[in-house]
Structures are given as structure tokens and as C-alpha cells.
Amino acid sequence: MRVLFAASELTPIAKVGGLADVMAALPAALKRVGVEAAVVIPRYSFINVSRIKRLASSIAVPLARGVEHVSLYRGTHAKTGVPVFLVENDRYLSSGPGPYFNATAFVGGRKEIQRFTFFSKAVAELLARGAFGSVDVVHCNDWHTGPLASLLTRMNADKTPINADKDAPRKNPRKSALHPRKSATTKVVFTIHNLANQGRWNAAEIDRWMLVKGESSPFAKSGADYNFMAEGIRSADWITTVSESYSREILTPQYGEGLEKLLASRRKRLTGILNGIDYAFFDPAHDPLIPNRFSIKDIGWKPLNKLWLQHHFGFRVASDIPLFGLISRLTEQKGIDLIPPAIKEYVSPVKSRRGGTTWQAAAQFVFLGQGAPEHEQALVALAQKYPSTVFTKIGFDEPLAHAIYAGSDFFLMPSRFEPSGLGQMIAMRYGSVPIVRATGGLADTVFDNSTGFVFLKESAKDLASAIGRALVCYREAPLRFSDIRRQCMEQDFDFVNAAKQYRDLYYARPNAPPRNAGRG
Ligand code: GLC
């Protein structure tokens, strides 16, 4: 069984969000359960290919105004050993910024649409030529590869049925060159990581740019637009999303982002498989990126990581001040705007009741991430106003991220919606107790008063009251708090659990409904 993952991101070479982490961890976990997987992404301008093997060059991808050429590189993922293919093309893939043209990862404009339509076309062409070797399943991810799902489904439909005479003369030479393995159809799995980001664009414009004379569009219009997320949903053999709760939520208007009817029509083909995390990489007992390693058995070392953070950020260094962490894309989805009003009452220094002279805050907060300017500014402003209790860093910082997971007592994830969420799983593994809204993957992984503090409504007031409950537990019921923290650390979010479910899906008969399809 050989599976090719197609995606826009891959940790560590092209990471924006959780999608990148999943593209690294899932193929590696599949290897452990006997499935061979490889990944293909665009060769963005910042990816250095000077020491990577070029498999093919000058492969023609026909577009309306002439042919574009691509090269294909094959490397190996440094950490997991999984084969990584990179598709290079100067005009659409390998110049300009990457992966996206906009910091929030939400589809910005024409260039992004063209980039990923072209990527899909190029990958379909390369597959047809057998450039990736034999492939049984193409696993597409998010809107960027929705067109690929359509193109492959159309290619599959064009193929001669299995019992047809393989030696019969080929009528259309171009077609046969494109389909060297006549009888083998490739199964297409499409995973929704984030339904809010769909990739819609004017259909006529895309047709004018992409279609070769006489060719009809492989995409379906909705109004004047194509919708590339909808393409993936409409055409894949199986649709998955990254938690069971989210797979039910997206059938409702509140979470369906306008695609709930389409999703409902494919309900029997839709299943939720909870993401996991790479347990070897995120392991507080062996993590080289954290100041002091620890495990459930020697949890006593964990607080030293908090002291390190406090010292590092110029906070008051004291093990009894609770520290809250947040590591996130800073977008509307993540409920970042709820944070400033919710934490106001906890950040201002208050006079210690004991001393009378020392100033002590109720809590300390560390924020790390990047995204929409208004959210970045709001968190930076908080840090400027309360420098002794709030620290904000805009950007990516892997070592700091690990130090925050290791050193924080609590981890904030007040998401409006959350297909899976990885941060809460990593936090739990590092004994940082999550405070989350009950939605999607958060609702499937965090349980109130047992592995975290959960609130229901999208409001700063409800977030504040969950933080308040967490603080009361921390200060007034330390044994209870230790118990919650231990239960967090005992959870099993190893990606291998998900890998087994994907393996079942890859092997499923084309018409068999997946295990939990159509629930809810
Ligand atoms: C997206 C989702 C997040 C999920 C990740 C990986 O970033 O927002 O919930 O964990 O994809 O599937």
C-alpha cells in the first residue's frame, strides 16, 4: 500500500499551522503500521534544493496560453525518513512568498488560487506519468488540493474498466500517454483541516487561464465561482476531517461554512479521525529544547521550567504564581480577541496580602504566535501595558514554544471552532492544563475538571470564568490540581492511533462506509 500526501505545508520546511505538523507526523506514524507514505508539496522560493535529487525536469503542464514546465525533486524528511517530493515551477510555485501570500493562511487572492490550481494540475500530470512510482491512494489536504481530487476523479473515470482488454490498441495517444497504468485507479482521500478556508474564485477567470482549447472544466460552479474545498468534498472517495466532533459540527449551518448541504449529501463518505502528535518529538522526558526534562514520575522538575520562563521574561520569579501559555495562529478562529478582556482582572499587579510591600500578580501570561495584525497588536499592547505579567512574542520560535509547553501551568485555547487542535494535546503531554472552549477536537480531548477547564459560550466572560475556576483550583486545591495535571499527562494522543484508522480507510472497499461515517 503506497499513499501520496499532497499538501501546501510540511514541518519543518514549510510550516504555517497545524496542517504542516500533521503532514510530518501522520506519514511517519503510517510507516509504523505498515503503510508506505510520501509527501508532495510545492518547492517554495525559500526551500533550498541544491543538495536534493532532481528526478525529472521540463515536464509540461498545459495551460490556456501555453505550456508551463515543472521539475520534480525527491528528498527525505530529515526527522522521519519519509520521502518528500517538491514540485518546482518559477512562475507559480517557486517565486514570491510561500506557502501563502498572506500571514493568516486564509486565501488571499488570485496568486494563491493560481498557485494551488497549478500545483494540483502539475501533481495530477506527474501522477499520470508515474513520476511518484506506484501510488494506491492520493491523500489530498484542504482547499489547496481540492482541484487535485477533482482531476484525479476525472482521470479515474476516463480509465478503462479492470476487465477490459489491456492489449487493445489505444485510440487516443495523448490519453494513453497520460494513463500508463490503465486498469489501476487511484483512490482519493480528502481531509478537511479547516472548512473556513475554502478557496473560491471566479470560474470564468480560472477557465480562461487554465483550460486548453476544447477542454471542459473539471470543476463544478457554485454561482459564478469555483470552490476548491467543495471540489475535494464532492469528488473524493472518502472525506475525512480531523476529529469526530468536527465531522458532526460541519453538517450544521453554524460550522458548515455554507457547505453543510454538500457535506450532508456525502455523509456516508465522511468520517472523523482525531489527529495525534508525534510522541517522540513532543516528549518532556527527552526534549532537548526544554531547560529541565521531566515525566509523570519526576514531575518535581517541571516547575523549574516555569522559573526559567519567569526569569527569561523579567517576571517575578516565584513557583506559586500560576503561568498561562498560548501558542497559536493569531486569527479570529482561535478566539484571540476574547483574551484581553478575559484576563484583565488577572494581570494587574495587586498588593500582596502577606507582605504589604511586595507587589504580586494573580497570574502571568506568555503569548507566542503570528497572524492577523489586529490580534498581534492587541497582544503586544497587553504586554506593553503589563510588562511584569504579560510577555508577547510575534512570530515562530520552536525552542520557545517547547519551553512554554514545559513551563506553563495552564494553556489557553478559547477557539470559536477547532477542527482538531494540536496545542492542547502537546500541552497535556507537558503537564500544562488546557483551558478550552467545548468545540471540535477540543471537545473530544479535554474534559472539564478532569483534564482541563472547559467553557461553552464564545464570550470573554465565559473564558474569564474558566480561568477563574482554574486559578481557584491551583491556589486552593493543590492536590486536585496535581491530579488533573497527572491525568493530562496520562492521555494517549500518539499519532499511531489515527494512523491505524487511516490504514483501515485506505484498505476499505470502495463502497464500504467508514467506521463512524454519517453519525450525528
Ligand atoms: C487546522 C485546524 C486545526 C487542526 C490542524 C491540523 O490548522 O485549524 O484544528 O489541528 O489543521 O489538522
pLDDT tens track for 131-157 = 999 999 999 999 999 999 999 998 888
Pairing of strands 390-394, 410-413: unpaired
Q: Which atom of ligand 1 is nearest to the CA of 242?
A: 12
Question: Could you tell me which residue, 513 or 102, shows the higher pLDDT?
Answer: 102
Please calculate the CA angle 153-157-161 and round it to the nearest 5 degrees. Answer: 135
Please identify, by atom number, the ligand 1 atom nearest to the C-alpha of residue 22. Answer: 6
- Average pLDDT over the chain reads 91
pLDDT at 109: 87
Q: Average pLDDT in the 286-295 region?
A: 97
Task: Pick the atom of ligand 1 nearest to 329's CA.
Answer: 7
Q: What is the 478 CA–ligand 1 centroid distance (Å)? A: 33
pLDDT in tens, 399-456: 999 999 999 999 999 999 999 999 999 999 999 999 999 999 999 999 999 999 999 9
Q: How far apart are CA 459 and CA 33, in angstroms?
A: 42
Write down the pLDDT at residue 210.
95
**Residue 136, Cβ density class (10 Å: 0-12 exposed, 13-18 middle, ≥19 buried):** middle
CA of 275 to the centre of ligand 1 (A): 9
Cell of 408: 506553563
pLDDT score of 357: 42
From the CA of 105, give the closest atom in ligand 1: 7
Q: Residue ranges of the alpha helices (H) in 79-227?
A: 110-128, 146-158, 173-178, 203-210
Give me 169's grid cell: 490498441
pLDDT in tens, 154-195: 888 876 444 443 334 344 434 433 333 334 689 999 999 999
| Rg of the chain taking only CA atoms, in angstroms | 24
Q: Is the pLDDT of residue 356 over 60?
A: no
Give the mean pLDDT of 279-284: 93
Q: What average pLDDT does range 59-86 have in this prediction?
A: 96
Q: Do residues 268 and 247 lie in contact, with contact meaning Cβ atoms separated by under 8 Å?
A: no
Distance CA 50, CA 82 (A): 19
* Distance between Cα 19 and ligand 1 center (Å): 6
- Higher-scoring residue by pLDDT: 175, 472: 472
Q: Residue 182 has what pLDDT?
A: 38
Record the pTM: 0.90
The pLDDT tens digits for 195-238 are 999 999 999 999 999 999 889 999 999 999 999 999 999 999 99
pLDDT of residue 348: 77
C-alpha to C-alpha distance for 232 and 334, rounded to whole angstroms: 24
Residues with CB under 6 A from ligand 1: 17-19, 22, 193-194, 242, 275, 418-422, 441
Q: What is the pLDDT of residues 372-389, one digit of tens each?
A: 999 999 999 999 999 999
Q: How confident is the model at residue 350 (pLDDT cuts 50, 70, 90)?
A: low
Kindly report, residue by residue over 23-49, the tens digit of the pLDDT. 999 999 999 999 999 999 999 999 999
Residue 142 CA: nearest ligand 1 atom is 11
Choose one of 194, 274, 444, 493 to mutate for the ligand 1 pocket test, by most ligand atoms within 8 angstroms of C-beta: 194
Q: What's the gap in Å between 277 CA and the centre of ligand 1?
A: 12
pLDDT at residue 171, as a whole number: 43
The best mutation among 249, 275, 334, 415 to test binding of ligand 1, ranked by most ligand atoms within 8 Å of the C-beta, falls on 275
Q: Which atom of ligand 1 is nearest to the CA of 333?
A: 8
Looking at this protein, which amino acid is placed at residue 468?
G
Residue nearest to atom 10 of ligand 1 (CA): 421
Assess whether pLDDT exceeds 70 at residue 94. yes
Q: What digits encode the pLDDT tens for the residues 318-332?
A: 999 999 999 999 999
Mean predicted confidence (pLDDT) in 70-75: 98
The pLDDT, as a whole number, for residue 515 is 63
Residue 181 confidence (pLDDT): 39
